[in-house]
């Protein structure tokens, strides 16, 4: 689970299985995406992303790999936010 307390996701963060990360400062009106991917996943692998702001769940995503990945494809999920500090999800991207 990723937990963000009024912050933005660090670029290029690499977590081990079951890993988590938190940070604590970002100015208001900063938007962006939080993406989580699995390198070389096996069929049946699951991935879950939960984004919290001030302890409140503001966005989440989950997926299970049902078949082997085709060449050139990845296994990833994400949450888009209009304002990290306020925990406002993006309407459309």
Per run of 10 residues, the mean pLDDT along the chain (length 93 residues) is 38 54 68 85 90 83 94 90 81 58
Q: Which pLDDT does position 44 carry in this prediction?
A: 94
DSSP H helical ranges for 23-67: none
Q: Which pLDDT does position 18 carry in this prediction?
A: 61
Residues 74, 36: contact at Cβ < 8 Å? no
Question: Do the bridges between strand 75-83 and strand 88-89 make them parallel or antiparallel, or are there none, so unpaired?
Answer: antiparallel
Q: Which pLDDT does position 67 carry in this prediction?
A: 96
Total domains in the chain come to 1
Q: Which pLDDT does position 92 carry in this prediction?
A: 53
Name the residue range of residue 50's domain.
1-93
């Amino acid at each position: 689970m990723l937990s963000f307390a009024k912050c933005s996701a660090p670029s290029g963060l690499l977590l081990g299985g079951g890993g988590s990360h938190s940070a604590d400062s970002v100015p208001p009106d900063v938007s962006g995406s939080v993406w989580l991917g699995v390198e070389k996943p096996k069929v049946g692998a699951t991935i879950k992303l939960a984004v919290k702001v001030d302890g409140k769940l503001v966005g989440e995503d989950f997926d299970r790999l049902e078949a082997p990945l085709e060449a050139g494809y990845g296994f990833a999920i994400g949450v888009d936010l209009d304002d990290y500090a306020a925990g406002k999800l993006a309407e459309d991207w």
